[in-house]
Amino acid sequence: MEKIIIFDTTLRDGEQAPGASLNPQQKLEIAFQLEKLGVDVIEAGFPIASSGDFQAVSEISRKIKKSAICGLARCLKPDITAAHKALKGGRHPRIHLFLATSKIHLKYKFKKAEDEILDLARGAIKSARKLCADIEFSPEDATRSEREFIYRVIEMAIDEGASTINIPDTVGYSYPQEIYSLITDIRNNVPNIDKAVIAIHCHDDLGLSTANSLSAILAGARQVHCTVNGIGERAGNASLEEIVMALKTRQDVFGDFFTQINTKEILRTSRLVSNLTDFLVPPNKAIVGRNAFRHESGIHQDAVLKKRSTYEIMDPHDVGISSSQLVLGKHSGRHAFSDRLKNMGFKLNEKQLNQAFMRFKDVADKKKDIYNDDLRIIVEDEIRLIRPVWKLISFEVSSGTKIKPHAQVVMDKKGKVLTGQSSGDGPVDACFKALDKITNFKARLEDFRLEAVTSGKDALGQVSLKLNTRGSTVSGRGSSSDIVEAAVKAYIDAVNKLETK
């Protein structure tokens, strides 16, 4: 098996994402975690860019012992000097030089001919090689460069001492077959290519960075540039977690390759980078997104409960996630619902389960996420020892700053539909008075409490109250994402208990 070298550029290219700036201490914290993750090379920054970047590269170089530490430099003497000074004292220093080679860059950015670019690169590599044994060279915008020129540049770079040649898809322009062809052509047309490691650096402007990186590996690249969570310039870089887990998961395709990444540290690393950069991970992000190992569809949930691999190609434990989650929502089925209730300790008969499931579906249509506390309230609300005499059919409330609150409530009593209307001091009071007209109970409200069962603006609200009538006091409870409806249900619950006394 051949090792794929993981070159992490979260602290350099990743930090270049607008808004993702990190201070030296934050960079060091991430570097320690990257070392724990098992990254081979950490590109710690661009030392000439700022005093903060220089400090970060210097400190990381001195304190990280296992991973090689890399500093970026243009093919300019001040850049090379700054990179060398920042990396001094490190166990495994590397200087990464880059110079654009595409016609568009030569014409508009440098206004130089190919031979001039070749001479600039040659001089820079010679200078850097005298200061550092490990030199990586990147012909920037390689995928849009003339291939014959690329071959000349790479051959020269290796002759001058570069031991790694990185092929950047700088603007995310390429696609997998094109990348495969480019790497293959480089291997076939650069006579000394066997003296260097071929690396690949892909951006995600067309959403192809991971696919392009994997294609490059199949073609002969043995080092991959990537970032945690795929952060980076514009649309970002190839995602470390996606590349590593693709190699691990698709052994039928990539069985000849391995990485030294400790995949169980992936989630921890992802969260650290997200927290320190303030770049939230999208819920649908592959591998580390909140929904990556969550299932809501009833069909999926039923199959996963029977055999996890029916809908999961990876074991969540492998990336540091404790377990898959069956998320209860409007798409969930009875199997997942029943399984969750059993795990919560509820033992329901078939009739009770059906009743609770219908109530669950009603709630799920109104709120996105159903939590265990929601389920507890649903079950306790719906599974009663008494058979209700009064059932709510509907209610309507009109209320506002310039109108007196008014309510209309429609109830069912043993198949008979009754309607009551009333005004009140507020929408809840209007509903209660309308209920009194229908039921003929003249009850006094002694206690009223409202609390949110779970968090979020769509949380279930639970109302607990006490009614006193005919010298008796009874309690009632109701819940809904609509607090007026929760209050109405609590009132009806108390009235039903009064009916049975």
Give helix 147-159 / helix 176-189 axis angle, nearest 10°.
50
Residue 106 belongs to a domain:
yes
Please check whether residue 203 is in contact with residue 211, taking contact to mean a CB–CB distance below 8 angstroms: no
Last residue of a domain, one of 382, 409, 437: 382
Residue 282 belongs to a domain:
no
Q: What's the pLDDT at 378?
A: 74
Same domain, 371 and 425: no
Same domain, 248 and 299: no
Token pair belonging to 15: 């930090």
From CA 84, how far away is CA 278, in angstroms rounded?
31
Last residue of a domain, one of 277, 304, 330: 277
Q: Which domain holds residue 490?
A: 390-499
Please give the chain's pLDDT, 501 residues, in tens: 899 999 999 999 999 998 888 999 999 999 999 999 999 999 999 999 999 999 999 999 999 999 999 999 999 999 999 999 999 989 999 999 999 999 999 999 888 899 999 999 999 999 999 999 999 999 999 999 999 999 999 999 999 999 999 999 999 999 999 999 999 999 999 999 999 999 999 999 999 999 999 999 999 999 999 999 999 999 999 999 999 999 999 999 999 999 999 999 999 999 999 999 989 899 899 999 988 887 767 777 778 778 878 878 898 899 998 777 666 777 788 888 888 888 777 778 888 888 888 878 887 787 666 766 677 777 766 655 446 788 999 999 999 988 999 999 999 998 899 999 999 999 999 999 999 999 888 778 888 988 876 666 666 788 888 888 776 677 788 888 888 999 999 899 888 877 765
Same domain, 56 and 204: yes
Same domain, 186 and 264: yes
Same domain, 89 and 161: yes
Residue 25 belongs to a domain:
yes
Q: Report pTM.
A: 0.74
Q: What's the pLDDT at 62?
A: 96
Residue 490 belongs to a domain:
yes
Q: Residue 193 sits in a domain of what CATH number?
A: 3.20.20.70
Residue 73 belongs to a domain:
yes
Based on the structure, what is the number of domains in the chain?
3
Residue 285 belongs to a domain:
no
Same domain, 266 and 301: no
Nearest to 465 by CA among 441, 493, 430, 442: 493
Q: What's the pLDDT at 384?
A: 54
Please check whether residue 262 is in contact with residue 36, taking contact to mean a CB–CB distance below 8 angstroms: yes
Same domain, 147 and 48: yes
Please check whether residue 41 is in contact with residue 12, taking contact to mean a CB–CB distance below 8 angstroms: no
3-state secondary structure (DSSP) of residue 388: coil
Same domain, 256 and 353: no
Same domain, 132 and 271: yes
Amino acid (1-letter code) at residue 376: R
Same domain, 438 and 456: yes
From CA 457, how far away is CA 369, in angstroms rounded?
11
Q: What's the pLDDT at 308?
A: 79
